Structure 1
Amino acid sequence: MGILQQIDKKQLSLLIIVFLIGSTPLFELGIEAKQDAWLAMLIAAGAGMLLTVMYVKLQQRAPNAGLADLLKYHFGRILGGSLATIYAIWFAYESMRNVRDVGELTTMALLGLTPKWIIMFLILLLSAYTISKGIEVFARVVQLLFPLVVLSYSSIILLIFFSGLVKFNQLLPILERGPMPVLKAVPDLVAFPFAQMVIMLVFMHLVKEKKSLERVTYRSQLSVSLFLVLMNALVLCVLGPQLAGVTSLPLLEVVQLVRLANFLERLDIIVTLLLFIGLYVKITTLYFASVFTMIAVTGLSSRNLLFPIGIFIYATSFLEPNNTYHLWIGLEITLKIVPVFQIAFPLLMLVVGIRKRYKPEAAGGGRRAEGVKEK
């Protein structure tokens, strides 16, 4: 027998913030726009906010329906169920990419002699254990991690400024090559990280305070968007566009430059901590989303789905032969495909459902209790 677990609005807010941050500040996204990368990030954040408005409107149409139920309602049980299965596979794929990121970045920056398969196995095992305890436990874990994330990033920002590393002239001249390089960088920045908010459609219906959902979601995304733009600009101010563009982990490079009062240095441990926290939350959220979506499609229990999906994630994380190929797949192929899930299908649902009134029985089949913890 299962019980429907719920989270409160504060827990959803923190989940959105920590999930979207993830490991994003560690990289200099949009660097193809050179010193205007922060501007491309700002425009992408605005576009991401518009997409979030669409996601919230879809959720408000059926406040007690998860993503799988929304798909089945709008497209019918067969087509909608098939699309929900594809979404579940996509969530597992995205989780796999983050598992591989943990392995690659950890061996690159911290544990050079430790086999990647051990690192990836341990982080995925931790995520599986968290999922087995239910969404409420995961939400509390995120609540506990959030102050640590805030304190760590705040410390990094203050130390960078106090060290005198920030040179605002690195951001000039603005739009030196015109607006086109900025506009070309925007679509990929929308796809990652801002449009990943679509994943929250799996969790929004679990929030107790349905009336506060819209306000909480918008505030959370606005906060994280401004933070990501700030971090993007800060890295540019320290490293400049040339160095930031050729460095694997620009934020780590920035932190390694910090020298304060001749004794405070080597703050790599803070960046490493943020790396593990961000990727753990991202892996677990995506893993959760895949399991919950398949529960709604198949009617199976989380106990029967947890390990098969986990095995799929772990096995596929070895398909890419090296980190160069892994990054190429992610940046050149994945980011071109994911708008189908982030924009096309949600927009189609919004249009199809304009004249429909949601009825729970219309979704049919499977279990709607996404967030069920098996007893």
Structure 2
Amino acid sequence: MQQIGKNQLSILIIIFLIGSTPLFELGIKAKQDAWLAMSAAAVAGLLLTFMYVRIQKRAPEAELAELYTMHFGRWIGGFIGGLHALWFAYESMRNVRDVGELTMMALLTFTPKWIVMLLIISAAAYTVSKGLEVFVRVVQLLFPIVALSYAFLILLLFIARLPKLMQLLPILENGIGPVMKSAFPDLLSFPFGQMVIFFVFWKHVSEKKVIGRVSYWAYIGVSIFLILMNVLVLCVLGPELAALSALPLLEVVQMIRLANILERLDVIVTLLLFIGLYVKMTALYMAAVFTLKAVTGIAYRFCVLPVGLVIYASSFLETNNTYHLWIGLDITLKIVPLFQIVLPLLMLVVGLRKKYKSAG
């Protein structure tokens, strides 16, 4: 069985949760209180992560599909596992489509979208075929690039004196209602509830005893970073402009002008978003393959290509980017709590009533 270390787990959680999150100004329906909505969702997501770790500790050697089987029986658990594999593949498809749309919007305007998406899904398929250890090593190599690039951009924003804290005022102008409405279920579902994917990967961590501690600290660190990025975009653009922009972070970085030398830094943002989307897409693709293998018993290597073909084919179902964003940010986020909250909560309740043998 492939094994990863605790530091590799930490880095994977950080890069996975960052993903494409800075691409959007999440919680903007709460206007200048968007960062409060992010904070509320992050706290709720931490509680979800506590629940996930509690369930995982019952059977440290079990993956998600095996946990479903243990708690709900062979047939019901297997059916739910199959549904979850489909859901992982669907979420991966959304990231494939994001890459295609972003490339056409920011870089290669005249390149056909199907070529861009074929290239990125081929790269992901190759990575998935090599297994978890190789994928995590790739993420480790990308981590310093991501960390240094974000640090560089944030530094330049402050040097250029673009953030204005006045943009965050008045705080809670319309009370707590709009904040809670923006946070739940949308922000909890994306990105914080996506920690549910680590049910698939925790089994492969070599040091099982530190899974909880490592996961909590990585989650808290990346949550603080995402909230700060949300605040920065609000402080630069203001709530009105941030709400109208398709890619708020890109607009923020395009405003950086230093001594007529440093400008047009949007290529860095595009690189960061490509890295985030690649990692998230590949992790979800791999989770779909692992889960399908556990449900059907088909060898891992034989699941890689069929799942990849399904992901690529389904990425064309949405007719345009506006429809794609509407499906993702309005429809999908209302359904996903079934996989992130309802099913894990059922496992927690069932597990309190029965004793289970360790999977293996």
Same fold (TM over 0.5): yes
Q: Using the alignment, how far apart are the partners of 1:163 and 1:230 within structure 2?
A: 18
2:196 aligns to what SS in structure 1? Answer: helix
Name the residue aligned to 2:329: 331
Map of 2:118 onto structure 1? 121
- Map of 1:176 onto structure 2: 173
2:44 alignment partner in structure 1: 47
Measure, in 2, the Cα distance between the counterparts of 1:131 and 1:262. Answer: 44
The whole-number CA distance in structure 2 between the counterparts of 1:5 and 1:137 is: 10
Determine whether 1:81 maps to 2:83: no
**Pairing 1:125-164 to 2, within 5 Å after superposition:** 125-164=122-161
Quick one: which amino acid aligns to residue 331 of structure 1? L
Runs of at least 5 residues in structure 1 that lack an aligned partner in the other structure:
362-367, 369-375
Q: Counterpart of 1:240 in structure 2: which amino acid? A: G
Match of 1:341 in 2: 339
- Distance across 2 between alignment mates of 1:143 and 1:324: 34
Query: Which of 20, 23, 34 is the equivalent residue of 2:20?
Result: 23
Give the distance between the partners of 1:164 and 1:264, measured in 2 at CA: 14
Aligned-residue Cα RMSD (Å) equals 0.8
Alpha-carbon offset, residue 320 of structure 1: 0.6
Question: Which residue pairs with 2:10 in the alignment?
Answer: 13
C-alpha contact (below 8 Å) 2:78/2:295 kept by paired residues: yes
* TM-score when normalising by structure 1: 0.95
Give the equivalent residue in structure 2 for 1:287.
285
Give CA-to-partner distance per residue, 1:321-343, whole Å, 9 cap, x none.
Answer: 11111111111210000000000
The alignment partner of 1:203 has SS state of helix
CA displacement 1:35-67 (0-9 Å, x = unmatched): 000010001100000000000001111111000
The DSSP-based 3-state class of the residue aligned with 2:124 is helix
Give secondary structure in 2 for the equivalent of 1:262.
coil
Q: Which residue is equivalent to 2:276?
A: 278
The CA distance in 1 between the partners of 2:204 and 2:56, in whole Å, is 11
Deviations 1:239-278 (A, max 9, x none): 0000000001100000000011221111011001101100
State whether residues 88 and 287 of structure 2, in contact with CA within 8 Å, keep that contact through their aligned partners in structure 1. Answer: yes
Rounded Cα–Cα distance in structure 2 between residues aligned with 1:244 and 1:91: 30
Q: Is the 8 A contact 2:61 2:203 kept in 1?
A: yes
2:298 to 297, 300, 303: 300
CA distance in 2, matches of 1:257, 1:194: 29
Q: CA deviation at 1:144?
A: 0.5
2:248 corresponds, among 247, 250, 273, to 250
The whole-number CA distance in structure 2 between the counterparts of 1:339 and 1:242 is 29
**Aligned twin of 1:373:** none
Q: Shift in Å at residue 360 of structure 1? A: 4.2
Distance in structure 1 (CA, Å) of the matches to 2:313 and 2:31: 37
> Residue 91 of structure 2 is aligned with which of 81, 89, 94?
94
The total of aligned residue pairs comes to 359
- 1:190 alignment partner in structure 2: 188
Q: Residues 58 and 358 of structure 2 are in contact (CA less than 8 Å); yes or no, is this contact kept in structure 1?
A: no
What runs of 5+ residues in structure 2 fail to find an aligned partner? none
**CA displacement, residues 13-49 of structure 1 (integer Å, 9 cap, x when unaligned):** 1110000000101210000000000010001100000
Alignment of 1:310-321 (within 5 A): 310-321=308-319
Q: What residue in structure 1 maps to residue 351 of structure 2?
A: 353
3-state secondary structure, aligned to 2:355: coil
CA distance in 1 between counterparts of 2:356 and 2:112 reads 50
